[in-house]
């Protein structure tokens, strides 16, 4: 058995054509013979097989066999090297056999897809929820955007008359008591178009455009309850945790940080947005429960949702920037022109559908209840 | 420009990997990593890197990656433990956390040097290893001082940041006993930045004009903006890569890269598309395609033979620096 390859002496880049073969009458010995006649050293080297360090087989890459002080024999003949190994030590290239085993590869594909799917759909949301509700440290302002940062960047002092602010504070005040454990504080700001935001510190920010957009107190309360839903469910903290876990999962599975770039970034963004839409639905349900609790009709919620929709359609006609703003803000805003896939909020139609469904269920239950 | 060098040999780089072949290796590595709860990830990393190094061929000889997975595993365990200690301590006492962070920030330049030294040492071509050795001060400057100056001057010094970072990377590298050199300056990078800003403003103005004067087309504005943004990123990648390679010198030898916007954009767009529709399974094939494209654009202008480079003294460098770099994630 002859293996043809190249020999490097480890001192310079020069290489010599060589052959590696088993020496028949000396057990455990292999011989590297040089084909070139100009070799200054000698015509061959005898080596013990046990002194050879043979790289594991990987795909079709050249096989490197090193020995002595940095000497190297390289060959493309992977099969012959495997035969050589088998001759002395039983089995060769176990990993390579796994990496070319079609049933195992198919199993790996199915297993990995299922595991990732389970992780993304169940594992990550569930563990983020557990962490957010069990570790008090995570509720501090250091996660998520705090009001002072927003004040420096996007917000300005509210231009609403003091009387209007006072009116709204008085409208909300009776309800704040019900959510004392969330420590909510009402804040007025201008900027960020018509928006309402819940910050992890408990601040509920209402923007001037939003206050001017609502037609009555019930609509304003509906949106207030939606934001309270975000606080109640610790959505900002959970979203930050889920984003981190998602990145960690990609790094863990693909095994290197390098692959975390533009290409893996896009699916991460899409998943992050789908988590966000789930949170919006959760906050909507919370708002509907609270409206029911205080005897306010959910149609006000549907009405304000539709109005925000019209507002943003109008805005996007005015400037393309509305697009980014709705995507970035966590507030209650809706947008249909971006497809559902790339939006941080569910489509308004779906949200209104949810409200109507809720209303219908409740009236059915209500009728049953009245027959007692 | 006239070239007065001796007879030049144009040696092409070539990537011989195969998307399907690499996919099989990649997916089995993932399975083994999951089944061993992450321990196999050190072996997976080495196998991934070996695949890419050994399939990169210059002058009919492949590169090789030599690291021992056990060293990488040890370093990973230490780095992850350090990260856990840091997380727990900073959770219990924010002040202690900040103190540790400051110490780490001071240590990062050291780890960066060690990490590059390890990776160079573990890379070889024709059985001669690469080397990297830089001073703490040099690493500190490119990690903190130059980027800060770039920001403080509102980007005016930003081209210089690129020059300094590449000088740090290239001039401190060696192949055996032959040192690399880098000869691009502020002006070369400045022109790329100026063209980007100019073209960006021009197209931005056109899109703005469309949205104002042709309201019927306003719906296309976000798409146009995305296209312009993507185009500028590709332009930047193409120009900086080409500049990087043509400015890199190894002794008598030079390099040429001829990436094109159309070529690179095609690879990025089709890769992204296939990755999306295959839910990420195309990722390994995408990496192979990108490597094939990059290698196909790269030429070494060798002056004479490559067979005269000599090996340097042996030195031992642990994998620890590299792993600290990866876990605490400071990218260059």
ipTM value: 0.78
Whether residue A146 sits in one domain with residue A90: no
| B28–A267 CB contact, under 8 Å | no
Instruction: Give me the residues of B, 178-237, that contact A with CB < 8 A.
Output: 211, 215, 218-219, 221-222, 225
The DSSP element (H or E) to which A65 belongs, if any, is: strand A63-67
Q: Do A108 and B311 touch (CB under 8 A)?
A: no
The dihedral through the CA atoms of B122, B125, B131, B132 has a sign that is negative
Residue A170 lies in a domain: yes
Encoded tokens for A362: 């409740």
Strand bridging mode A71-75 / A63-67: antiparallel
CB-based contact A222:A287 (threshold 8 Å): yes
Query: Taking CB atoms and an 8 Å cutoff, what residues of chain A touch B21?
Result: 59-60
Whether residues A160 and A299 share a domain: the answer is: yes
Distance between CA A24 and CA A22 in Å, rounded? 6
Interface contact B304, partner A, CB < 8 A: no
Burial class (CB in 10 A: 0-12, 13-18, 19+), A37: exposed
**Least confidently predicted of A14-18, A143-147, A190-194, B19-23:** A143-147
Q: What angle do CA B292, B242, B269 make, to 5 degrees?
A: 50
A53 and A152 in a single domain? The answer is no
- For residue B61, give the chain A residue with the closest CA: A62
Enter the DSSP assignment of B145.
I
Q: Are residues A86 and A150 in the same domain?
A: no
| A80 and A161 part of one domain | no
Give the Å distances, CA to CA, from B239 to B12, B192, B194, B229, B332.
Answer: 20, 7, 12, 15, 18
For residues A88 and A141, membership in a common domain is answered with: no
Give B-chain residues touching A108 at CB under 8 angstroms. 27-28, 30-31
**pLDDT tens across B33-92, in order?**
889 988 898 899 899 999 999 999 998 889 999 888 888 888 888 888 887 888 788 777
Predicted confidence (pLDDT) per residue in B186-222, tens digit: 999 999 999 999 999 999 898 888 888 887 777 778 8
Give residue B319's pLDDT: 54
Q: Measured between beta carbons, which residues in chain B are less than 8 angstroms from residue A38? A: none
B325, B115 contact by CB (below 8 A): yes
Note whether A12 contacts B310, CB cutoff 8 Å: yes
For tokens 């090297």, what's the residue?
Answer: A81
What are the CA-CA distances from residue A233 to residues A129, A283, A305, B123 (Å)? 8, 8, 21, 50
Nearest chain A alpha carbon to B31: A108
**Torsion sign, CA atoms A311, A314, A318, A319:** positive
The pLDDT score that the predictor gives to residue A336 is 40
Rg, chain A, Cα only: 34
Residue of B nearest to A73 (CA): B127
Both A88 and A151 in one domain: the answer is no
* A354 part of a folded domain: yes
Gap from A78 CA to chain B (nearest CA, Å): 14
Pairing assessment for the beta strands A203-207 and A185-190 based on DSSP bridges:
parallel
Query: If 0-12 CB within 10 Å is exposed, 13-18 middle and 19+ buried, where does residue B301 land?
Result: middle
Residues in chain A with CB shorter than 8 Å from the CB of B38 are 252
Task: List Cβ neighbours of B126 (8 Å cut-off, separation of 6 or more).
Answer: A8, A13, A15, B61, B306, B307, B309
The two beta strands, B298-303 and B253-257, are antiparallel
Decide if A27 is inside a domain. Answer: yes
Chain A contact for B127 (CB, 8 A cutoff): yes
Confidence (pLDDT) at B265: 94
Distance of CA A224 to the CA centre of its chain: 29
The per-residue pLDDT for B311 is 67
With H, G, I as helix, E, B as strand and everything else as coil, classify residue B38: coil
For residue A211, which of A179, A178, A174, A166 has the smallest C-alpha distance? A166
Q: Are residues A286 and A148 in the same domain?
A: yes
Beta bridge partners of A4: A19
Domain finish residue from A69, A96, A123? A96
- Residue of A17, A99, A255 to mutate, testing the B interface (most B Cβ within 10 Å of its Cβ): A255
Dihedrals φ, ψ of A30, to 5°?
Answer: -120, 155
Which residue range is the domain that position A67 belongs to?
2-96
Of B18, B128, B272, the CB nearest to A263: B272
Picking from A6, A10, A13, A316 by the largest number of B CB atoms within 10 A of its own CB, the best residue to mutate is A13
Indicate the DSSP class of residue B242.
Answer: H
Task: Convert the pLDDT of each residue in A138-181 to its tens digit.
Answer: 545 454 456 777 788 788 888 889 898 898 888 888 888 888 88
Distance CA A278, CA A283 (A): 9
Report the domain count for chain A: 2
A9 found inside a domain: yes
Which of A96, A114, A145 lies at the terminal end of a domain, its last residue?
Answer: A96
Contacts of B227 in chain A (CB under 8 A): none
- Give the pLDDT of residue A326: 43
Band (B176; pLDDT cuts 50, 70, 90): confident
A13 touching B, CB under 8 A? yes
Show which of residues 157-176 on chain A sit within 8 Å of chain B, judged by CB atoms. none
Query: Which two three-digit tokens encode residue A125?
Result: 């949301």
Q: Is the pLDDT of residue A106 over 90?
A: yes
């Amino acid at each position: 058995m002859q293996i043809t390859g190249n020999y490097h002496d480890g001192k310079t880049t020069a290489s010599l054509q060589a052959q590696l073969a088993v020496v028949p009458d000396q057990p455990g010995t292999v011989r590297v013979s040089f084909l070139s006649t100009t070799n200054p050293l000698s015509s061959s080297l005898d080596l013990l097989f046990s002194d050879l360090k043979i790289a594991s087989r990987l795909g079709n890459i050249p096989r490197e066999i090193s020995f002595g002080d940095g000497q190297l024999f390289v060959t493309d003949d992977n099969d012959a090297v495997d035969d050589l190994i088998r001759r002395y030590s039983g089995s060769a290239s176990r990993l390579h056999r796994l990496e070319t085993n079609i049933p195992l590869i198919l199993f790996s594909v199915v297993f990995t897809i299922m595991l990732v799917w389970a992780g993304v759909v169940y594992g990550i949301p569930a563990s983020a929820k557990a962490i957010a509700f069990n570790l008090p440290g995570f509720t501090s302002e250091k996660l998520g955007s705090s009001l002072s940062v927003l004040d420096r960047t996007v917000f300005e002092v509210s231009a609403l008359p003091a009387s209007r602010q006072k009116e709204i504070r008085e409208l909300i005040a009776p309800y704040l008591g019900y959510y004392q454990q969330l420590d909510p504080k009402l804040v007025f700001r201008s900027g960020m178009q018509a928006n309402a935001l819940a910050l992890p510190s408990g601040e509920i920010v209402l923007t001037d455009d939003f206050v001017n957009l609502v037609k009555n107190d019930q609509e304003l309360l509906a949106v207030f309850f939606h934001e309270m839903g975000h606080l109640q469910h610790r959505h900002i903290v959970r979203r930050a945790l889920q984003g981190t876990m998602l990145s960690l999962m990609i790094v863990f599975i693909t095994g290197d940080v390098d692959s975390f770039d533009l290409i893996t970034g896009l699916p991460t963004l899409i998943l992050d947005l789908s988590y966000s839409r789930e949170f919006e639905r959760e906050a909507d349900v919370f708002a509907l429960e609270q409206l029911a609790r205080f005897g306010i009709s959910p149609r006000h919620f549907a009405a304000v949702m539709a109005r925000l929709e019209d507002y943003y359609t109008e805005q996007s006609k005015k400037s393309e920037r509305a697009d980014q703003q709705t995507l970035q803000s966590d507030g209650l805003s809706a947008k249909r022109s971006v497809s559902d896939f790339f939006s941080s909020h569910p489509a308004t139609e779906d949200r209104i559908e949810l409200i109507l469904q809720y209303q219908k269920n409740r009236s059915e239950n209500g009728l049953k209840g009245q027959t007692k | 420009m006239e070239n007065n060098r001796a007879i030049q040999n144009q040696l092409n780089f070539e990537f011989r990997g195969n998307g399907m072949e690499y996919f099989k290796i990649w997916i089995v590595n993932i399975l083994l990593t999951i089944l061993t709860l992450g321990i196999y990830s050190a072996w997976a990393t080495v196998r991934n890197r070996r695949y890419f190094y050994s399939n990169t061929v210059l002058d009919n000889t492949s590169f090789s990656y030599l690291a021992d997975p056990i060293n990488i595993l040890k370093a990973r365990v230490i780095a992850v433990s350090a990260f856990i200690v840091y997380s727990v301590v900073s959770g219990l006492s924010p002040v202690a956390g900040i103190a540790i962070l400051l110490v780490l920030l001071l240590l990062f330049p050291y780890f960066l040097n060690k990490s590059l030294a390890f990776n160079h040492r573990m890379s070889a071509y024709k059985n001669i290893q690469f080397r990297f050795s830089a001073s703490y001060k040099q690493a500190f400057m490119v990690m903190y001082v130059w980027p800060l100056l770039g920001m403080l001057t509102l980007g005016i010094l930003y081209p210089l940041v690129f020059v300094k970072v590449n000088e740090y990377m290239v001039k401190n590298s060696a192949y055996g006993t032959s040192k690399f050199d880098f000869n691009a300056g502020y002006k070369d990078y400045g022109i790329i930045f100026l063209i980007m800003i100019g073209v960006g403003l021009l197209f931005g103005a056109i899109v703005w004009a469309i949205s104002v004067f042709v309201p019927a087309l306003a719906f296309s504005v976000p798409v146009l903006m995305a296209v312009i943004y993507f185009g500028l990123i590709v332009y930047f990648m193409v120009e900086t890569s080409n500049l990087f390679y043509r400015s890199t010198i190894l002794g008598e030898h030079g390099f040429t890269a001829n990436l094109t916007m159309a070529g690179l954009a095609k690879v990025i767009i089709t890769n992204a598309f296939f990755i999306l529709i295959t839910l990420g399974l195309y990722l390994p094939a995408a990496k192979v395609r990108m490597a094939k494209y990059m290698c196909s654009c790269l030429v070494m202008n060798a002056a004479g033979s490559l067979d005269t480079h000599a090996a340097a003294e042996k030195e031992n460098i642990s994998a620890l620096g590299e792993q600290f770099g990866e876990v605490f994630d400071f990218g260059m």
